Structure 1
Amino acid sequence: MSAESITGTMKWVSTLSTRPSLEAAIEEVVQEAQALLQTTPDLGFVFISAAFASEYSRLMPLLREYLPNLPIIGCGGSGVIGMSQQAQARELEGEPALALTLASLPGVRVHPFHLEAEDLPDLDSPPDAWTRLIGVPATEQPHFVLLADPFSARVNDLLQGLDFAYPGAVKVGGLASGRSTNSSNGLFCNYRLYRQGTVGVALSGKLVLETIVAQGCRPIGQPFWVTEGERNILLGLEEQAGTSPMSRGGGALVSQKRTPLEVLQELIQSLTDEEQQLAQHSLFVGVAQNEFKQNLEQGDFLIRELLGVDPRVGAIAIGDRIRPGQRIQFHLRDAEASAEDLETLLERYQQLNTPSTTSPVGALMFTCVGRGESLYGESNFDSRLFSRYLPNVPLSGFFCNGEIGPVGGSTFLHGYTSVFGIFRQLHD
């Protein structure tokens, strides 16, 4: 099912209800959204609290009575994010809440879809196998919002395939949350409830989708070249100094090679007492995604878990594949680092948008269940910071079991991250 509106100005509204009755919550968000939008919507997003999990099957039939024939996707979450009647973003965790976004998207083709894991092509398949699956040609240059079940979707394969078939496309989204079994998660697409797979929407035409991917970490020490690695095991590191050791001819400079454990132990000794305490449980490895950038900054790294060490050979295992020639840097994560990371990225985004740039009309927020009040000790932290830098931009979303967003031109599944998808109208 596709929809395309032809002329006019893009408009985006977000509403939120905390009423414990599902019928009352739906009536409230729909009436408020329609009053704010004041035109026919072309797309809807709905995020429903897991407190309503026993009533997921009733959501779509009730919504359809108010909004028939609307392309719509959504999912359940342990918490939801939406705009209060005071036009302030709120993050509601562990309590009944329903968020609805309606968007009028002139000049945009809207293509919702649902995929089961068994539908996905083999990763050796050509790009057109993926474009046939989605139903949108690569020539349309679509962007994607993806909402997936954490237990059944094969999300990493899906992201790899979409990056292959649609290399210029932006993909954002998250994994449904709120229950520990796949029988209780809810995905919604075009008035149907799904318990497995992925729902999504491809958006192409007069639309720009930009991202902020705040992984909540700050770098410590300095970057190192990987001189030796096997699968997800770091075996050798060398201090970064100019070009990669792999490009100097003859491979790595063995005389300068150090074991990752030696590097890590030296780094730990250089930290403050507070940082050393933090490193015992919140130490991560950032893998640089740009092979050519000399001066690496926050946002240039894909953050992965440090899984363990092997003292016999000085090796370190991380939560991703690694290869010689890549650069890594150790990172720490806590509330202060998360706040600093997001603010740095928001400032950078604000600086890149000149007065001639079209203003954002709306945004989606996909944030980890490990952030929010449990991380910051207060509610609405990330959404409030976002609104400080991008005021008057309607925001909605949910708390995820994993967040989808790009780093360095490729799309990844993250943890402990806040991903923002920011929508702007594209003019000729």
Structure 2
Amino acid sequence: MKWTSAVSEHRFLKYAVAECAVEIKEALGGQFADLLVVFVSAHHAARYDELPGLVRELAGDGVLIGCSGGGIIGAGREVEQSPGFAMAAAVLPDVTLSPFHIEDSDLPDGDAPPGDWQAIIGASTSDGPHMLILADPFSLRGENLLAGLDYAFPRAAKIGGLASGGNQPQANALFAGELVHRTGAVGVAMHGNIEIDTVVAQGCRPIGERMQITSCERNMLLELDGKPPLEVLREMFQGLSERDRQLAQNSLFLGVVMDAFNEAPKIGDYLIRNIVGMDARAGALSIGEMLKEGQRVQFHLRDAETSTHDLDAMLDQYMGSHEPHSE
């Protein structure tokens, strides 16, 4: 098994894919990549539909999965506010890969048996698959999908994230095989000789006060503790340091408390979601997540120092609890 990744900031998508493909092939030493995972910034949105063909032509015909992103990271580099394309590739001997696409309307109801969930991704519990899942926050109830998969595949690792880069429905892109989707979720089930351990580092720190959603519609945040969220932001902005004010221009997020019964959530107890737009007239914010009244939330900032510290701490914790495998 071997993994590698590459990033390109070329403004033309074809050349960005070509640059990454060359690096990937060199790193793999001529081995065939069984899995290709790609992320592309919204600067390339006009070429989203061309991406699967470009990857197949330039990087090979391994199983493809990916999505659009507001920021791109890979090979130790991060690209934001400019064109970016990232590709990760894996050589996975004795692993069967099964890509899938799911729409929100495909999700079984809460009383459905495990077999209904297994059917939508084409796998059974006896296969023991792990899953990589990428979802569009505007069109799919991610918490329902994950709850169902946890029920049907309790021992399987589920990793992934949310597509971003778009600020309205159908503006994001999801890639699975040769197809490009604008809604739902894409994923790949991995069966066979593979084990996955998860380490999550959010790289964000809370600012302001924790508040409750008192009014929302789908992904539109209308009120926090009875106030328009833009009014809350203006009041909070006045109390920030100059450095945090600068960060808030491009690195402001909304954290949603994961556990409704957690009375004192800490860093890591929030689901971090993008703020994808605003309605200045209504004072509302558009969030990259379906919201519910009563949820507790807090604004967060992401910065390089916090991200590095968070990742180092999580990796140290992981290494301290796992013995290295002998060769």
Q: Which amino acid aligns with 1:353?
A: H
Give the distance between the partners of 1:284 and 1:355, measured in 2 at CA.
35
1:304 shift after superposition: 6.6
1:106 equivalenced with 2:93 (yes/no): yes
Residue 81 (structure 2) aligned to one of 88, 91, 94: 94
1:178 equivalenced with 2:165 (yes/no): yes
Give the distance between the partners of 1:149 and 1:303, measured in 2 at CA.
19
The aligned residue for residue 270 of structure 2 is: 303
Render the CA deviation track for 1:99-141: whole Å, top value 9, x for unaligned.
Answer: 1111110111111111111111112100000111110111111
Give the distance between the partners of 1:128 and 1:44, measured in 2 at CA.
29
The aligned residue for residue 280 of structure 2 is: none
1:17 equivalenced with 2:4 (yes/no): no
Q: Over aligned residue pairs, what C-alpha RMSD do you find?
A: 3.5
Question: Where do 1:140-151 residues align within 5 Å?
Answer: 140-151=127-138
Give the distance between the partners of 1:66 and 1:193, measured in 2 at CA.
18
Residue 69 (structure 1) aligned to one of 57, 61, 64: 61
Is the CA contact (8 Å cut-off) linking 2:255 and 2:270 kept in structure 1?
A: no
Q: Which amino acid aligns with 1:62?
A: L
Render the CA deviation track for 1:310-369: whole Å, top value 9, x for unaligned.
Answer: xxxxxxx5439xxxxxxxxx99988677665443322111212323367xxxxxxxxxxx
Give the distance between the partners of 2:146 and 2:125, measured in 1 at CA.
15
Q: Identity of paired residues, percent? A: 40
Larger Cα-atom Rg: 1
Give the distance between the partners of 1:283 and 1:34, measured in 2 at CA.
38
Pair 346,298 (structure 1): closer, same or farther in 2 beyond 3 Å: farther
Give the distance between the partners of 2:27 and 2:171, measured in 1 at CA.
33
Is the CA contact (8 Å cut-off) linking 1:148 and 1:187 kept in structure 2?
A: yes
The aligned residue for residue 34 of structure 2 is: 42
The aligned residue for residue 23 of structure 2 is: 32
Pair 11,120 (structure 1): closer, same or farther in 2 beyond 3 Å: same
1:284 shift after superposition: 8.0
Render the CA deviation track for 1:191-211: whole Å, top value 9, x for unaligned.
Answer: 111101100011121111111
Pair 351,185 (structure 1): closer, same or farther in 2 beyond 3 Å: same
The aligned residue for residue 52 of structure 2 is: 60
Render the CA deviation track for 1:278-332: whole Å, top value 9, x for unaligned.
Answer: 9xx9998674999xxxxx9978x73379xxxxxxxxxxx5439xxxxxxxxx999
1:204 equivalenced with 2:196 (yes/no): no
- Give the 3-state SS of the residue equivalent to 1:213 in structure 2: coil
Residue 344 (structure 1) aligned to one of 303, 313, 320: 313
The aligned residue for residue 290 of structure 2 is: none
- Give the 3-state SS of the residue equivalent to 2:55 in structure 1: helix
In the alignment, structure 1 segments of 5+ residues that lack a partner are: 1-9, 84-88, 220-231, 234-272, 291-295, 306-316, 321-329, 359-428
1:80 shift after superposition: 0.7
Render the CA deviation track for 1:230-264: whole Å, top value 9, x for unaligned.
Answer: xx99xxxxxxxxxxxxxxxxxxxxxxxxxxxxxxx
- More RCO (CA 8 Å, sep 6+): 1
TM-score, reference length from structure 2: 0.70
- Give the 3-state SS of the residue equivalent to 2:198 in structure 1: strand
The aligned residue for residue 223 of structure 2 is: none
TM-score, reference length from structure 1: 0.55
Give the distance between the partners of 2:44 and 2:97, measured in 1 at CA.
28
The aligned residue for residue 72 of structure 2 is: 80
Give the distance between the partners of 2:302 and 2:18, measured in 1 at CA.
39
Q: Which amino acid aligns with 2:7?
A: L
Q: Which amino acid aligns with 1:163?
A: D
Give the distance between the partners of 1:68 and 1:337, measured in 2 at CA.
37
1:168 shift after superposition: 0.8
Pair 289,165 (structure 1): closer, same or farther in 2 beyond 3 Å: farther
The aligned residue for residue 384 of structure 1 is: none
Is the CA contact (8 Å cut-off) linking 2:257 and 2:265 kept in structure 1?
A: no
How many residues end up aligned between the 2 structures? 265
Question: Where do 1:19-418 residues align within 5 Å?
Answer: 19-37=10-28, 38-83=30-75, 89-215=76-202, 287=259, 302-303=269-270, 317-319=294-296, 340-356=309-325
Is the CA contact (8 Å cut-off) linking 1:284 and 1:332 kept in structure 2?
A: no
Is the CA contact (8 Å cut-off) linking 1:73 and 1:189 kept in structure 2?
A: yes
